[in-house]
Structure 1
Amino acid sequence: MPRTKKIHALKRPKLRQSWSKFNLYNLSRVTAPPAANKTFFQQKWLAKSMLRSYHNPDVREGTWTRMFDRRLPAVVPMDHRYLAKYDGSEMASGRGMGVDKKPQRDARGNEIRGPEKTPYMHMTFHPLERRLDTAIFRALFASSTREARQFVVHGWVKVNGRKMIYPGYQLNPGDMFQVDPERVLYATGARKVKKDKAESNQELRRRAEERTAKKEKAEEDRAVGAVVEEEPENNTVEPTAEEDDTTTPQTYSTELKALLKRATAILDDSKRDLSGKRQQELRTFRKDLKSTFSKLRGMDESDLQETTESFETALAEILTKVPAEDLSKQEQAADAAASPSEPLPSNPQLQNKTTLDAHRARKDAELLQAALVRARANPIDTTKPYATPWTPRDYMSAFAFIPRYLEVNQNICSAVYLRHPVARPGLAEVPTPFHAETMALGFNWYLRRR
């Protein structure tokens, strides 16, 4: 596989069906090819080479030539009232008699333009949109047509419930294709810095930008005489892009000890009326936590972070199962003292102190439960080949569009090919970054008879 820069050819731009940053740069500087000192044949050949570099260059030229169809599909909306009033002869009125039609104008004097023109030439490569690999790329299940082709060849794609290993399969209206969700998460997700870390390059860049913004803000505040709080000396050295802002193993040990102390306090609280099942869960949790302390020295920082977060999530899940009415009065008073400035609700039924504390505890439990649901849906997993929690990869938003002829369900990574793409007034359903003149020259190249 050639290198990325060679594929996109920054010196002489070549546009590709890819989410690469090099491709985005080439898209920003693409122009119509010059035609001042070129023959018509040279213009057509240059336009053809530009178009074929974008519209699935993995398809051989001979294969595409056999697929080419000079009949370009298009639809035109017809007004039944106009058809009932005229028979078509009004289109030729005034021709050859020196009568010029005056442009119609509205009340403000602006010229009323007719219907938009139909971009027929943009439909030159409409047969390629039926290919399975192109449809997977258009449905945002892969970051390029080459990656989509790889998914199909490796057996990660199903069409109508059956595995399909041919990237050139021609989809018919109503066909449903599905890609393995893990492949889609890998193709569209951010990349990791290292295999043993869950963070991605864009996460490190975001942190570096935040540090730079804070530093610039501090310098501006010093310039205007504002009081800037000095950072501790041990935090003056900023980590590089390769290093992560993780804490030390001693910090994780302290956090685990705090969790163990909290679980023990809950069990020893005689005023809490816990069920037998909850007590058993807390004892098991405390046992697993104690056995983890003997393994802290042999674990790296990523495993320590994952272990600590898993124990925090487990304890939070146990606490969310405890009814809010079972909270002890001591904890209710502690919660009330922790937030004394919070105003009382306007509901008269919540003016009572005990009722208010139970209401706040129930709201906190609901918020915690929602956070746990989000954490389960997008967890931290160092074994995945993509960054976790999952985040979209760089430069994805510039290419995130779905054509009208596809119906996509991102939850199950499947899509339905509704119909063949068509052109309509002002819109062509075959996405292309090239100008209509370039598309017309490429269409004329393939019109020639050999």
Structure 2
Amino acid sequence: MRDANVLSFRKAMPRMSWSPRNLYNLWRRSCAAEADAIDFTRSPLTLFQQRWISKALVRGYHGDFINEKIFKRWYLPDTLPDVRPRKHALSSNGDLDAFAGRTEHLQRAKKKASDEERKGLAPVGSLMLAEVERRIDVFVFRCCFAHSVYEARRLVIHGSVLLNGKKHMNANTRLAPGDMISVDPAAIRFLQEPGSSKAESEGEPSDSEPKTEPLGLSQSNPPTKLASTKSSLTPFNLPPYASPFIFIPAYAEVSFPTCSAIYVRHPTARPGYSEIPTPYDADGEVIRLAWEWYAKMRPRLRSKSQMAREPENRRVGGH
């Protein structure tokens, strides 16, 4: 972890971590007093302050380990999506539209407008964070191979992650659709016994705390059956309070028996749903105000010397 105080209670900024401290901060931002601080409906703050707070919260979760200057230059899409709804004026002169051959086009536009009015707009503002989700360390964390994105970075840097069958130690790499990552099972803390020395050094619960049973066994099984089947199953030990965070995004195809995953495609969004995991409403004020901040703070044009310093960006699987 880059900063020992990154999970401080004073800031209460949710991070990519399954730590109990992070879960508490997430609860405070969702339900406790800190939730009112990001409700800007009747806020005395200026628009600049609202955008600054929203940008800080979004960046605190989505890539706080990325330098802000590097984030604006390389991890924002070329064109930020427009989060403001637009109303298009549709022609009502049927004879003129038929003469001009625009009948089919207008029918599609009317159907799209009615669908948007019925379902709402897609939360495209969250797609400005899609480049962060492509990072190999973030992808390892999303696939539940690490307890936090900071630990996922250590796995990559220490050579415990393979990219398409080859050791890859650059945590800044952005994956391409079709790329496969494999994690060394010995480095995955979920597969270690809580009482082991390595698990205790990583902050796992000690032998005095209750242990999670091996995957596939229920608590109703008798002790004799547990003893006979324990050796044939892989122990899977969840971290404390991890159940609200265990999920797999739709763009990842994970195989836990082989400790590997495939980055199937880039994240997408549709009305009422976004594939970008975020602790904030994907179409809420925080994401929209953060989008407005970066829409005004656009990065400069990239020169040839800057392009040479771009973090590895894989365009096609295998290249």
TM-score norm. by structure 2 comes to 0.69
Of 430, 440, 448, 2:288 maps to: 440
Aligned position for 1:29: 28
Aligned 8 A contact 1:130 1:170 in 2: yes
Aligned 8 A contact 2:195 2:207 in 1: no
What root-mean-square deviation, in Å, do the aligned CA atoms of Structure 1 and Structure 2 show?
3.3
CA distance in 2, matches of 1:37, 1:442: 18
Aligned 8 A contact 2:190 2:238 in 1: no
Q: Secondary structure at the match of 2:15?
A: coil
Of 374, 377, 383, 2:233 maps to: 377
Q: Secondary structure at the match of 2:26?
A: helix
CA distance in 2, matches of 1:187, 1:403: 19
Aligned 8 A contact 2:191 2:236 in 1: no
C-alpha displacement of 1:396:
1.9
CA distance in 2, matches of 1:57, 1:397: 23
CA distance in 2, matches of 1:46, 1:27: 16
Sort the Cα spacing of 1:190 and 1:393 in 2 relative to 1 into closer, same or farther, 3 A. farther
Mapping of 1:46-445 within 5 angstroms?
A: 46-67=53-74, 68-69=76-77, 70-72=79-81, 87-88=105-106, 114-184=118-188, 186=189, 191-192=194-195, 201=205, 204-206=208-210, 372-378=228-234, 390-435=236-281, 436-445=284-293
Deviations 1:328-351 (CA, angstroms, capped at 9, x unpaired)? xxxxxxxxxxxxxxxxxxxxxxxx
CA distance in 1, matches of 2:191, 2:81: 33
C-alpha displacement of 1:27:
1.0
C-alpha displacement of 1:446:
0.9
CA distance in 2, matches of 1:190, 1:46: 41
Sort the Cα spacing of 1:151 and 1:26 in 2 relative to 1 into closer, same or farther, 3 A. same
Sort the Cα spacing of 1:190 and 1:125 in 2 relative to 1 into closer, same or farther, 3 A. farther
CA distance in 1, matches of 2:245, 2:160: 23
What amino acid sits opposite 2:27 in the alignment?
Answer: S
Sort the Cα spacing of 1:66 and 1:26 in 2 relative to 1 into closer, same or farther, 3 A. same
More helix per residue: 1
Q: Secondary structure at the match of 2:63?
A: coil
Sort the Cα spacing of 1:88 and 1:156 in 2 relative to 1 into closer, same or farther, 3 A. same
Aligned position for 1:311: none
Deviations 1:290-327 (CA, angstroms, capped at 9, x unpaired)? xxxxxxxxxxxxxxxxxxxxxxxxxxxxxxxxxxxxxx
Q: Secondary structure at the match of 2:118?
A: coil
Structure 2 unaligned blocks of 5 or more: 30-34, 84-102, 212-223, 300-319
Aligned position for 1:19: 18
C-alpha displacement of 1:8:
1.3
C-alpha displacement of 1:195:
7.0
Identity %: 33
Sort the Cα spacing of 1:12 and 1:370 in 2 relative to 1 into closer, same or farther, 3 A. closer
Q: Secondary structure at the match of 2:50?
A: helix
What amino acid sits opposite 1:192 in the alignment?
Answer: G
CA distance in 2, matches of 1:144, 1:119: 26
Aligned 8 A contact 2:126 2:276 in 1: yes
Aligned 8 A contact 1:188 1:393 in 2: no
What amino acid sits opposite 1:134 in the alignment?
Answer: V
Aligned position for 1:248: none
What amino acid sits opposite 1:375 in the alignment?
Answer: S
C-alpha displacement of 1:194:
6.3
C-alpha displacement of 1:153:
0.4
Sort the Cα spacing of 1:73 and 1:90 in 2 relative to 1 into closer, same or farther, 3 A. closer
Sort the Cα spacing of 1:123 and 1:190 in 2 relative to 1 into closer, same or farther, 3 A. farther
CA distance in 2, matches of 1:193, 1:3: 26
Sort the Cα spacing of 1:92 and 1:154 in 2 relative to 1 into closer, same or farther, 3 A. closer
Aligned position for 1:321: none
C-alpha displacement of 1:39:
1.5
C-alpha displacement of 1:72:
4.2
The structure with more radius of gyration: 1
CA distance in 2, matches of 1:424, 1:194: 46
C-alpha displacement of 1:51:
0.8
Aligned 8 A contact 1:180 1:413 in 2: yes
Q: Secondary structure at the match of 1:121?
A: helix
Structure 1 unaligned blocks of 5 or more: 75-84, 94-100, 102-112, 208-367, 379-388
Aligned 8 A contact 1:202 1:394 in 2: no
CA distance in 2, matches of 1:171, 1:393: 27
Aligned position for 1:41: 48
Residue correspondences, number: 249
C-alpha displacement of 1:115:
2.4
TM-score norm. by structure 1 comes to 0.50
Aligned 8 A contact 1:405 1:419 in 2: yes
